[in-house]
Amino acid sequence: MDPEKAEFLKEFGADYGYPTGPKSIDQIRATEFKRLDGLVYLDHAGSTLYSELQMEAVFRDLTTNVYGNPHSQSDSSSATCEIVREARQQVLEYFNASPKDYKCIFTSGASAALKLVGEAFPWSQKSCFMYTMENHNSVLGIREYALSQGAAAFAVDIEETVHHGVSNGIAASVSLSQHQIQRRNEEKFLEEELIGDAYNLFAFPSECNFSGLRFSLDLVKIIKEDSEKFLEGSPFCKYITHIMSCILYESEVRSEAIDIEDDDVDAAKLLKKAYFSGGTVAASIADIDFVKRREGIEELFEDGTASFLSIASIRHGFKILNSLTLSAIGRHTAALATYLRKMLLALRHENGASVCKVYKSDSLKGLCREWGPIVSFNLKRPDGSWFGYREVEKLSSLSGIQLRTGCFCNPGACAKYLGLSHLDLRSNMEAGHVCWDDYDILNGKPTGAVRVSFGYMSSYEDAKKFIDFVKSSFVSLPNQAGLGYHLRERSIPFPDKGLESRFTSSFFLKSITIYPIKSCAGFSTEKWPLSISGLRYDHEWLLKSLTGEILTQKKLPEMCLISTSIDLHRGIMFVESPRCKEGLQINLKSDLQSGGREEVDLYGQRYEAQGYTDEVNNWFSFAIGRTCCLLRYSRSNDYLLLNKCKNGGMRRDMQSRVTFANEAQFLLISEESVSDLNNRISSNVQKGTFEMPVQINPMRFRPNLVISGGEPYVEDEWRNLKIGNKYFTSLGGCNRCQMINVVHTAGGAQKSNEPLATLASYRRSKGKILFGILLRLHETDNEVEQETDSWLQVGQEVHPNSF
């Protein structure tokens, strides 16, 4: 046995792996999760996995039984009603909740259940919605219902005060730190109008999905029994308050048994729905204001036909959980999370600096039962600066590790643990930061974190592979250049002949490629004219879906199968696709008269574009298998910078006119750099890192210009260059994405890990994986499209740093 695993089992063996269960963790993985071979899945807090045996049981159930719509009297409907009743009972038993006191209402998910509470709660101008900072956006959304009905809303931090020598229980030490009261209606009410009953709602998560902190359910009793103490000093303390509680269990139910039998969580009798639907009414009359609602709580709140086939499948999931026992699952996942926290906190760079900041608070020892199977953290460089979480996510994906990054839809916990003030948050938003974008570091601070979460089928090997990944990718070790800082690492070192002599090597232009339609295949040519926006007609067209999405190979790899070419003399673009029997010819001048004009938002900029006829749009829709339209950049209108994105998004070239290219007018790569990359990939194959050899063609990087001569990666240091009689300014390296991993074959497009995985091992810089350089025409050549000799030609000499 591996010594490191033996050490792990020595510390956690009593809890890890279901030692007394019907199957060990190794048996579970081998028989029920064969699809995880070679993959590490660590996002169980986002969505855990179903087992293959579970799906086989569901398939047998649905193929041997007939379940009909439950809103009927037929035998198939009766069978459905019975299976739904059994499912409700299983859910209640899971929570140790008596059906006399609790009801189980099926919704589409946790967010739908919270929405139901918010819209049906009896809000008034005397009500308040109180919620802990550690809450999901789906809980914060209830605030909209409260504020719209004149109620107040405010967040609270739960704090504990330690009194030495005093032992009066948890309640005596708990206090609430109230944040600013929010009211949407500023009307002044008379004092007598504020007297009377008020129904208030207090919401908190059983487990924080950001940090894994698990609150004690005693918090419900503490808040309700001493509401005057906790509302002291607020305008709500004068009312006769009825505090209802709402606990979000959405994440925790996956790994630990919950007991709410003794917890005073409130029933649904006060909730009043306005909307009614099929299944929720006993009778209604269409042409007058009459409806008689059903009296059963479940029937009243489950709008329409429930997803009864999904509900019928619940029992097969419970069967697996019950066979392992929930307490064993909790111990198993806790062992993995504790081990991961311990290993991450122990990591050190070569200079002794800590690698990892784990977000964990020990201030709530009385109200925090324990930590769940969630570990959230960020990684630091040796100098104390942060690695961006998107960099971690990108590299982990290349290593076959699936995890979650960002704020996990929990803005309060995110700001609290990351130390982000309101000023920081507003500044980040003004910089263009929104959920799910790439702005992971702003003003030197992380905007989110990395989250690893374990499930019942997670293994030591999963945790170990992740730790090894962090060590190899982010830890600076002795005798190793600082990871993340160096760009240039070559298999053949530069000859010792001085820096300047490297720039005197002979370089020439090897190929020219134009990509008329964004993300579609380009064509190579011996010579091509320049325009004010780069190579003439390059990236001048794009495809847009009917929903407004700009289509690219990142989501539609099949776009690479659409080939293009342009006949300059005839003024025609030829387009072909293996899916279309006939090609398409687009007149570069007259076809512009046939479509309408519209605006396109792309990379933080707004363009005016020209549309085409239905015939053209239908051709492209058939070619890619999705309804779309072709748009052409209008060169007569300059782009406008969007107000919401002052830094211009990902666009690097903010001075020149650029069509629909990602970052700049030109992308240049070196033939020698590609050759060195292929040597590294071949070396990895020989070491057993990859199963089969991969040979990367320069066109995989979609360059406009390929040069030959000199040594690998020498282009990194070029400030400018001259090709023929034209001058270009370097804008720096090109950040590469998963798109270069798409392999174009005759049968279609396939995704792989190369060459990005190898590039990530030696071409990382400040969160980016760089290969090739971006160029723009030098300012003196701004009017090149009006010149007769503004052409580039294969074979022309390339002179770096020539001005």
Q: Which amino acid is at 243?
A: I
Q: How far is CA 738 from the centre of its chain?
A: 15
| Strand duo 705-708 + 666-670: pairing | parallel
- Listed in sequence order, the residues at least 6 apart from 497 whose beta carbon sits closer than 8 Å to its beta carbon are none
> Reduced to 3 DSSP states, what percent helix, strand and coil does the chain have, rounded to the nearest 5?
30, 25, 45
Element housing 572 (H / E) = strand 572-576
Backbone angles phi, psi at 741, to 5 degrees: -90, 0
Mapping DSSP to helix (H, G, I), strand (E, B) and coil, where does residue 544 land? strand
560 is catalytic: no
Check: CB of residue 666 under 8 Å from CB of residue 705. Answer: yes
Query: What's 402's DSSP letter?
Result: E
What does the alpha-carbon distance between residue 267 and residue 164 come to, in Å, rounded to a whole number?
38
Dihedral sign for Cα atoms in the order 562, 567, 573, 576: negative
Burial (CB < 10 A; 0-12, 13-18, 19+), residue 492, is exposed
Distances (CA, A) of 689 to 678, 685, 692: 14, 5, 9
- Listed in sequence order, the residues at least 6 apart from 379 whose beta carbon sits closer than 8 Å to its beta carbon are 355, 356, 357, 386, 387, 392, 450, 470, 474
Classify residue 767 as left (phi > 0), alpha (psi -120 to 50) or beta: left
Distances (CA, A) of 751 to 80, 396, 418, 662, 693: 42, 16, 35, 21, 15
Query: What's 479's DSSP letter?
Result: T
| Strand duo 605-611 + 584-587: pairing | unpaired
- What the block records as the tokens of 567 is 């006949």
What does the alpha-carbon distance between residue 550 and residue 483 come to, in Å, rounded to a whole number?
35
- The DSSP code sequence of 51-89 is -HHHHHHHHHHHHH-----SSS-SHHHHHHHHHHHHHHH
| Strand duo 768-777 + 666-670: pairing | antiparallel
Q: Which residues of 138-164 are buried (b: 16+ CB within 10 A; e: fewer)?
A: bbbebbebbbebbbbbbbbbbeeeeee
Q: Which amino acid is at 98?
A: S
Element housing 682 (H / E) = helix 671-686
Could you say which of 208, 237, 407, 409 is catalytic?
Answer: 409
Catalytic residues, which ones? 409
